[in-house]
């Protein structure tokens, strides 16, 4: 029961009690009575009212996501061997080409010498076959076989030279050494992980946008990124997915942001994509009301001091309130007592104390 109904019921009870005590219970029900007229008068309730004026605010498309490194490399050995030296520690910053690990040469130098000797021999054999063929003493088939032997020798030499090059493992990208999996004296097999290097500048924020809103997003659009760490970055949309995810019907959106301070990857992020500027009012969530139809709105007071319900759309949320559209530029909003009045009621609007806003 609301306050108005409660007051009416109390007034009626007082009238009946007065009749019983005065012996007038048997009088005609339609007899005039000053007490009954007073009891029938509807009370006018006081409500706190705040006058608000609309402001221009930016409307955002908001998406929850997380951040990833621009590049995340698992550096692996391309040849096997014993680790002879390690030049980095976890946390070190590296540039492309910086040495990471050196493997022992073993017998590789001897194998390269042997491969070079075979190339020298094959070159001599091919040159002799070519000359003999020109003099008519050697068939063309013999020349072709000598050429094939020479190419085979050169391929073996190239293979051992590449293997020797791979004993010196270097950074393929600029970034920071996130972890190191080897130490001096370890034996590395081809394919084993050496270090993990990540590059977080730029930092990539990944969110998902509903299919109803994806046409409002375009590459190059500026995006504000709010990290769970409390930090804020500004980036641009660099990629929009071409296919919606089957379960959620959302599209993947990647935002690239400069990260000179090296903020970490892997943290939660809120992506705010600006769409347009609108006129809106800033309200405390406590001032919002729910209509019987399920619409969210507020209760206002017009020039005749009558209550009206105005539906609103929430266009932006902040920690201490919400921005809404759907109201006139200037509006008298009920901030205290809105739960006890209904649209059409006449009220006594009392200016709200600024210190009591949000009540």
Rounded to whole angstroms, how far apart are CA atoms 144 and 330?
Answer: 95
Token representation of residue 188 = 């590395």
Nearest Cα to 104, choosing from 80, 76, 87? 80
Token representation of residue 29 = 């029900």
DSSP calls for 276-332: EEEEEEEE-GGG-EE-TTS-EEEEEE-TTSBEEEEE-EEEEEETTEEEEESS-SEEE
222-260 per-position pLDDT tens digit: 999 999 999 999 999 999 999 998 888 999 999 999 999
The DSSP element (H or E) to which 204 belongs, if any, is strand 193-210
Rounded to whole angstroms, how far apart are CA atoms 314 and 337?
Answer: 22
Nearest Cα to 330, choosing from 310, 348, 313? 310
The DSSP element (H or E) to which 90 belongs, if any, is none
- Name the band, by pLDDT with cuts 50, 70 and 90, for residue 10: very low
- Name the band, by pLDDT with cuts 50, 70 and 90, for residue 140: confident
CB 263 within 8 A of CB 303: no
Nearest Cα to 302, choosing from 263, 328, 276? 328
**β 347-351/45-53 pair status:** parallel
Under DSSP, the state recorded for 346 is B
187-216 per-position pLDDT tens digit: 999 999 999 999 999 999 999 999 999 999
- Asked if the model's pLDDT at residue 287 lies above 60, the reply is yes
The share of the chain scoring above pLDDT 70, in percent, equals 85
- Asked if the model's pLDDT at residue 175 lies above 70, the reply is yes
Stretch 147-154: mean pLDDT: 94
Task: State residue 27's pLDDT score.
Answer: 34
In sequence order, the β-bridge partners of residue 18 are none
**Taking the alpha carbons of 23, 29, 35, 39 in that order, is the dihedral positive or negative?**
positive
CB 101 within 8 A of CB 83: yes
Query: Residue 71: CB partners within 8 Å, gap ≥ 6?
Result: 173, 175, 197, 198, 199
Under DSSP, the state recorded for 12 is H
- Name the band, by pLDDT with cuts 50, 70 and 90, for residue 28: very low
Task: State residue 282's pLDDT score.
Answer: 95
Question: Helix H segments across the chain?
Answer: 3-22, 34-40, 108-134, 140-165
Average pLDDT, the chain: 85
Nearest Cα to 169, choosing from 71, 93, 75, 92? 75
Stretch 274-280: mean pLDDT: 90
Would you tell me how many other CB atoms lie within 10 Å of the CB of residue 117? Answer: 12
Question: Would you put residue 283 in left (φ > 0), alpha (ψ -120 to 50) or beta?
Answer: beta
């Amino acid at each position: 029961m609301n306050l108005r109904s409660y007051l009416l019921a109390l007034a009626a009870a007082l009238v009946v009690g007065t009749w019983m005590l005065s012996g007038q219970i048997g009088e005609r029900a339609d007899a005039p009575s000053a007490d009954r007229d007073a009891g029938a008068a509807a009370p006018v309730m006081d409500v706190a009212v705040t006058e608000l004026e609309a402001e221009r605010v930016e409307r955002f498309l908001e998406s929850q996501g997380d951040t990833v490194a621009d590049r995340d490399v698992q550096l692996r050995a391309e040849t096997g061997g014993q680790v002879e030296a390690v030049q980095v520690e976890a946390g070190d910053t590296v540039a492309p080409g910086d040495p990471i690990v050196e493997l022992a040469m073993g017998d590789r130098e001897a194998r390269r010498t042997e491969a070079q000797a075979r190339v020298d021999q094959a070159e001599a054999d091919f040159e002799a076959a070519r000359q003999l063929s020109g003099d008519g003493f050697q068939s063309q088939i013999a020349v072709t076989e000598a050429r094939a032997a020479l190419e085979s020798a050169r391929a073996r030499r190239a293979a051992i030279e590449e293997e020797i090059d791979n004993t010196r493992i270097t950074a393929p990208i600029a970034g920071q050494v996130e972890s190191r999996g080897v130490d001096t004296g370890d034996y590395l097999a081809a394919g084993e992980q050496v270090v993990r290097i990540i590059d977080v500048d730029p930092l990539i924020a990944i969110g998902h946008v509903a299919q109803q809103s994806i046409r409002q997003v375009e590459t190059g659009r500026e995006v504000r990124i709010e990290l769970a760490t409390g930090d804020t970055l500004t980036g641009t949309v660099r990629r929009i997915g071409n296919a919606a995810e089957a379960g959620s019907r959302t599209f993947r959106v990647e935002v690239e942001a400069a990260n000179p301070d090296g903020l970490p990857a892997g943290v939660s992020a809120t992506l705010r994509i600006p769409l347009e500027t609108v006129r809106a009012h800033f309200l405390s969530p406590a001032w919002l009301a729910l209509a019987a139809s399920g619409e969210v709105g507020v209760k206002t007071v017009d020039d005749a001091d009558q209550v009206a319900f105005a539906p609103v759309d929430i266009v932006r949320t902040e920690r201490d309130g919400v921005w809404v559209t759907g109201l006139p530029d200037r509006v008298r909003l009920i901030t205290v007592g809105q739960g006890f009045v209904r649209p059409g009621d006449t009220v006594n609007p009392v200016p709200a104390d600024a210190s009591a806003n949000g009540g």
